[in-house]
């Protein structure tokens, strides 16, 4: 089959030659005759084939490559099923025991740009964030069926942007029934409400970092700021924490955190607090042994970075201030546009303002089921530091 060609300007093919999967509009010499979401062949100015990708003239990223190839290819259902099979094998190989929730497809990290699939027990919650993904939806469903999933729920609302013109509505694509599941992660039970929850319902990307927390929580008084439904809270209790304050601005998720705590630990000292963390961190002055800061992405575009930096600095300064000497700060940023170096600089200046001794113990990232394509560093969005705070 012949796919329409997108020709790159001469000198603008370097990043695709380096297997970076994005083509920006400024690099295009000749546009393909193709509608949004269609697969096109990407070629150099000298007509050398470099690969194939989802075209979308309405997007800042005009083409997202799905395959780097020097020979002509066809993209039928089996092609997509094979990608899904590979992703599934990888998860089965590395998934920790007593865990039935994980990310099965992580966009560019699984060579499927704009497609996210999170598994909660028997359900796949799918996010299709690019037009190309919408056009191959039936193939994706067939691939998921092939590896054994019969219940598939689409959850695009709340997903960052609809800039690509994806027109899918939330709801069951296959199967039906309740839109929540009781899952297990590292032996800890959680209710995940994927129908009403944020994103696909749960923040699977913090699984390993939560486990690290549980290893150092014995007898600790813990503050979990931006707690959502209590991911870190439950791991702190699993590690023997004396008490945890879970703080989130949304009263619904704070209730969810309390329910999750009781599901696992009926008798522990848990305080579920509905509050703005900026105010909570500033106003209160009790001291903790461990403070966790896992806010939502403060910046989504390069333009928003400066403002976001002020927000990160503010919560980190107050987080450090609220620790007793010898206390630990677990601090995260999931803004893709704030890179690791910048995040560390922000935390550095927060520490300096707090006027305390601060040492870095761990530098954290995202787990194996959120793989980072080495040619696409933008895919490494989660950054974390574990700090020990002295006098």
Interface residue list for ligand SAH (CB under 6 A): 198, 203, 206, 226, 228-229, 231-232, 248-250, 253, 276-278, 294-296
CB of 314 to ligand SAH, least distance (A): 11
CB distance 233 to 225 below 8 Å: no
CB distance 342 to 309 below 8 Å: yes
Q: Which residues contact 131 (CB under 8 A, 6 or more apart)?
A: 36, 37, 54, 56, 58, 59, 164, 165, 166
Q: What gap in Å lies between CA 221 and CA 314, rounded to an integer?
A: 22
DSSP 272: E
Q: Which of 63, 101, 277, 334 is catalytic?
A: 334
CB of 206 to ligand SAH, least distance (A): 4
CB distance 90 to 79 below 8 Å: no
Closest to ligand SAH by CB, 156 vs 206, is 206
Closest to ligand SAH by CB, 58 vs 250, is 250
CB of 154 to ligand SAH, least distance (A): 21
CB distance 163 to 154 below 8 Å: no
334 is catalytic: yes
The H or E element containing residue 86 is helix 77-94
Residue number of the CB atom closest to ligand SAH:
231
292 pairs with which residues across the strands? 224, 330
Q: What gap in Å lies between CA 244 and CA 271, rounded to an integer?
A: 6
Question: What are the helix (H) ranges across 239-339?
Answer: 251-264, 277-283, 305-321
Closest to ligand SAH by CB, 203 vs 368, is 203
- Hey, what are 276's tokens? 């703005």
CB of 204 to ligand SAH, least distance (A): 9
Spatial strand order of the sheet with 5-8 comes to 22-24, 61-68, 49-55, 39-43, 5-8, 28-30
Question: What is the number of alpha carbons within 13 Å of residue 195 lying toward its C-beta?
Answer: 8
CB of 296 to ligand SAH, least distance (A): 4
Closest to ligand SAH by CB, 44 vs 206, is 206
Q: What gap in Å lies between CA 84 and CA 322, rounded to an integer?
A: 45
CB of 203 to ligand SAH, least distance (A): 4
Q: Which residues are catalytic?
A: 334
């Amino acid at each position: 089959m012949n796919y329409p060609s997108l020709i790159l300007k001469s000198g603008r093919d370097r990043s695709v030659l380096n297997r970076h999967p994005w083509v920006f509009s400024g690099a295009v010499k000749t546009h393909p005759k193709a509608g949004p979401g269609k697969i096109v062949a990407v070629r150099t100015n000298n007509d050398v084939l470099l690969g194939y990708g989802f075209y979308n003239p309405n997007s800042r990223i005009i083409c997202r490559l799905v395959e780097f190839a020097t020979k002509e290819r066809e993209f039928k259902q089996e092609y997509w099923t094979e990608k899904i099979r590979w992703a599934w094998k990888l998860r089965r190989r590395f998934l920790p025991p007593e865990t039935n929730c994980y990310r099965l497809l992580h966009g560019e990290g699984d060579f499927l740009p704009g497609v996210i699939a999170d598994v909660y027990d028997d359900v796949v919650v799918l996010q299709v964030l690019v037009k190309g993904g919408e056009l191959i939806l039936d193939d994706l469903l067939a691939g998921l069926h092939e590896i054994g999933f019969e219940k598939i729920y689409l959850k695009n609302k709340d997903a960052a942007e609809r800039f690509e013109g994806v027109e899918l509505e939330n709801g069951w694509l296959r199967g039906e029934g309740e839109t929540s599941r009781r899952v297990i992660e590292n032996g800890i039970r959680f209710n995940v409400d994927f129908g009403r929850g944020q994103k696909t319902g749960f923040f699977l990307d913090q699984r390993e970092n939560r486990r690290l927390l549980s290893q150092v929580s014995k007898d600790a008084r813990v503050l979990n700021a931006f707690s959502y439904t209590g991911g870190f809270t439950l791991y702190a209790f699993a590690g023997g924490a004396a008490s945890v304050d879970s703080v989130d601005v949304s009263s619904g998720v704070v209730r969810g955190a309390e329910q999750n705590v009781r599901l696992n630990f009926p008798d522990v000292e848990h305080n579920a607090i509905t509050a703005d963390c900026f105010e909570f961190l500033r106003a209160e002055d009790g001291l903790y042994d461990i403070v966790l800061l896992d806010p939502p992405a403060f910046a989504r575009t390069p333009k928003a970075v400066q403002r976001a930096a002020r927000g990160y600095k503010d919560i980190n300064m107050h987080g450090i201030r609220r620790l007793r000497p010898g206390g630990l700060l677990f601090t995260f940023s999931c803004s893709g546009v704030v890179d690791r170096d910048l995040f560390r600089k922000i935390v550095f200046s927060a520490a300096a303002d707090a006027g305390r001794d601060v040492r870095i113990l761990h530098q954290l990232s995202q787990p194996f089921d959120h793989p980072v394509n080495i040619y696409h560093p933008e895919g490494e969005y989660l950054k974390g530091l574990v700090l020990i705070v002295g006098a």
